[in-house]
Structure 1
Amino acid sequence: MGLLDKRVLLVSTWFPSERDITEGSFVLADAKNLQKHGVNLLVVHLNKHGLNQTETYEGIKVVRIPLATSKPHSIVKAAVRVLPYIKRSDLLHTHAISSLLPLVLLPFNKPWVHTEHWSGLTTSAHRLPAWKRFILPQVLKVEKRPDVSVAVVEFLARPLRKIRGGKDTRVIPVVVPSPDQIVPRPNGKLTELVSIGGLVPGKDPIMAVETLALLVEQGENFHLTWVGDGPLREEVETKISATGAPVTLAGRVKPQEVPGYIENADMFFGPTRGDNFFTSAAESIVRGRPVVAGANGGHSEYLDPKVSELVSEGSPENFASAIKNVHEKTKKMTEAEIAATVGNRFSADTVATQYMDLYRSLLTH
């Protein structure tokens, strides 16, 4: 059965806009990929920015509806607004747990797919902020509603299955397109590292700075460029000044500029405290860059030990050792050999086929 005559409504609280061009970039990538493969798609962006308009964003038709997830009246208003779009669709596809909040109030009988990304499902409850611990039991109940839930890695699928009981829960990865041509690593006298992510506690940029400072003390010649911004910027800048660590903060960049930063590096370094898919690590591997990262997350499912090292006990000493080990064991490998360790498992065609097969199965039952 073709999907050209079926109307798919994608509802997400995460989607890029003029207010934040990086928010939900992976949801945009999925939407563009599905539309390219013939899916008749409309996006409803339930947004925290107060945007209330219909527009075409990078080729995708988007209806933007304001939603403040902490305000009950806003949730009700958004639910009323989104219901007509659901009724006119043949299949509903939601992204992110916050998108479910208005929908649980609504009476509808449509095939429903939900893709989950929330790191709170894989974070120990005691590590969550107090307000998240309070609402967690109520929020998790809404995960039971969709007909099929999709996790981007098995690491996230496991807690989802516990919540959903016997209901269908599957794994479909994020789209991480391979480049048309792989750019060789710089391989200069200075070994370039890159990290991509917010300057936030979970990404642990302070650990990155301390690791680079230690490498200098050990007589090593490494430099790190950190791509991204966030609330820890001032603290990170202070740490760089105090230690003299060879770290450059590139700040926030456009999504299309990220590949260039990866290609200008010899290796990806992400001292994360916990991630689900860890898109930037996957983006680095498909571009032929080896990876050193924190071990907690779903990236362990696709990172081959031949081209990576995951550090379970995060410390500058352990990360510095891992960086030197990975640099040594991969320096004679070609970029194509590194990229081949993941093959086409994250390609646009692979991911689109999995979603379209899922859509067809729901639409024919």
Structure 2
Amino acid sequence: MRVLIVTTWLPTPSSPATGVFIERDIDLLARDHEVHVVHLSSAPAPSAERAWGVETIAMSASNPLSVRSAARRLAPMVERFDLLHTMAASALLPFRRLRSATPWVHTEHLSGILAPETLPLPVRLALPATLRLMRRPDVVVAVGDRLADAIRRSRAGAVEIVPNAVEHLAQVPERRSLTAGRVSLVAVGGLVPRKGPDIAVETTAELARRGMDVSLRWIGSGPMRDEVEALALRLRISDRIALVGTLPTERVLEELAAADVFLLPTAGETFGVSIAEALASGRPVVVGANGGQAEFVHEPDGVLVDGRTAAAFAGAVERVIDLNATRTAAEIAAAVRARFTDESRRRGYARVYADAVAHARSRAR
């Protein structure tokens, strides 16, 4: 099948972590289909080597004129493909008035649908209109049950679930003994308020105050870097904190393998890719309770934390260490590795595409 994929989220040289999960979805779809990818962005086209190419069309979601210009370019393109697949809510904007018999699938990842309070005010105000746009595709794909339920409240049509890709090493890396009392924490996520890097630093300070020889390595970048460094200095734990920056997937997996516990005081996730990847690496997790990660984080593999306080997360770290004192990395990794596989995702998208084609035929009658 010839598939036109249109997205506003893809990694670029200036933002290498943006939309990595979408890039992985496209890699998966390209195994079975001939894909043409359009990136709606003012940034330069991604430079990474891939099995598929990328065409960039300039568009800013906040500029109606640029959205209209993108719509004019995209409309005739849609007719040349067997299926249109939009990815990320803002990619729907140029198709607001689309009238086409082409089957249409949309994949959504927006965490703010589950936690609107984490969105910037303009995006939060636009959320009802965004959800209305999700009524238009033949099938909408969500990455988890909670996101699917939220979308179904605004849409009568089909909503199906295909989880995000979860990367991991072929073999589960062994865990080291924690009997010596030294604990290495790792976090993966942007240095942004929703991910809670400040709470992670405060949690590290609280654990050190309780007598634990603890350190934290944060993988990811963002606007809170200076604030987080200043907080660590103020709490006198700068020597325990390392802000590593953005790393490629293979390096992230190495960081997970070198750690003892994954910590992410997130305010909300649609799925929680890094959380799943930590579990698949055989590392117990301590994470915020709000979001799609609650579907696959269960004790003893991980602890969900309701309150976003250092005391709550420090207690959860102590608990997850106790729960896993005698467990192997393979035991911790087993459930997530069995649940999230490329083959199950591949079958899921095959089902979604077949459903979209059937629905498009029925509406064309």
Contact 2:147 2:270 in 1 (8 A): yes
How far, CA to CA, are the matches of 2:46 and 2:266 in structure 1?
A: 37
- From 288, 313, 318, give the equivalent of 2:307: 313
SS at match of 1:85: helix
Instruction: Give 2:163's aligned amino acid.
Output: P
- From 118, 125, 138, give the equivalent of 1:147: 138
Corresponding position: 1:324 with 2:318: yes
Contact 1:25 1:255 in 2 (8 A): no
- From 148, 159, 173, give the equivalent of 1:157: 148
Instruction: Give 2:175's aligned amino acid.
Output: R
What does 1:251-290 correspond to in 2, within 5 Å? 251-290=245-284
Match of 1:231 in 2: 223
Contact 2:10 2:46 in 1 (8 A): no
Match of 1:71 in 2: 63
Deviations 1:25-84 (Å, cap 9, x if unpaired)? 111111111222x222111111131x3x69884211211111111111100111112223
Contact 2:139 2:355 in 1 (8 A): no
Match of 1:3 in 2: none
How far, CA to CA, are the matches of 1:202 and 1:178 in structure 2?
A: 25
Contact 2:41 2:56 in 1 (8 A): yes
Corresponding position: 1:208 with 2:200: yes
Instruction: Give aligned-pair identity as a percent.
Output: 37
Match of 2:21 in 1: 26
How far, CA to CA, are the matches of 1:195 and 1:55 in structure 2?
A: 27
How far, CA to CA, are the matches of 1:142 and 1:216 in structure 2?
A: 49
Instruction: Give 2:344's aligned amino acid.
Output: T
What does 1:5-44 correspond to in 2, within 5 Å? 6-36=1-31, 38-44=32-38
CA pair 14-54 structure 1, distance change in 2 beyond 3 A: closer
How far, CA to CA, are the matches of 2:253 and 2:153 in structure 1?
A: 37
- From 119, 132, 135, give the equivalent of 2:123: 132
Contact 1:194 1:265 in 2 (8 A): yes
Contact 2:143 2:163 in 1 (8 A): yes
How far, CA to CA, are the matches of 1:54 and 1:306 in structure 2?
A: 40
Contact 2:163 2:345 in 1 (8 A): yes
CA pair 324-54 structure 1, distance change in 2 beyond 3 A: closer
Note the residue ranges of structure 2 that are not aligned, 5 or more in a row: none
Bigger drift between 23-32 and 250-259 goes to 250-259
How far, CA to CA, are the matches of 2:46 and 2:326 in structure 1?
A: 52
Alpha-carbon shift at residue 331 of structure 1 (Å): 2.3
Alpha-carbon shift at residue 136 of structure 1 (Å): 2.6
Alpha-carbon shift at residue 253 of structure 1 (Å): 1.8
- TM-score, structure 2 normalization: 0.93
Match of 1:192 in 2: 184
How far, CA to CA, are the matches of 1:271 and 1:218 in structure 2?
A: 19
Deviations 1:230-280 (Å, cap 9, x if unpaired)? 111111001111112322111122233211111111111001111110110
Corresponding position: 1:123 with 2:115: yes
Match of 2:82 in 1: 90
Bigger drift between 80-89 and 274-283 goes to 80-89
How far, CA to CA, are the matches of 1:133 and 1:21 in structure 2?
A: 25
How far, CA to CA, are the matches of 1:300 and 1:133 in structure 2?
A: 23
CA pair 83-256 structure 1, distance change in 2 beyond 3 A: farther
Alpha-carbon shift at residue 87 of structure 1 (Å): 1.0
Instruction: Give 1:333's aligned amino acid.
Output: R
How far, CA to CA, are the matches of 1:256 and 1:11 in structure 2?
A: 27
Aligned length: 355
Contact 2:9 2:39 in 1 (8 A): yes
Instruction: Give 2:132's aligned amino acid.
Output: K
How far, CA to CA, are the matches of 2:168 and 2:129 in structure 1?
A: 40
Match of 2:232 in 1: 240
Note the residue ranges of structure 1 that are not aligned, 5 or more in a row: 1-5
Instruction: Give 1:334's aligned amino acid.
Output: T
Corresponding position: 1:168 with 2:158: yes
Contact 2:131 2:151 in 1 (8 A): no
Alpha-carbon shift at residue 179 of structure 1 (Å): 2.1
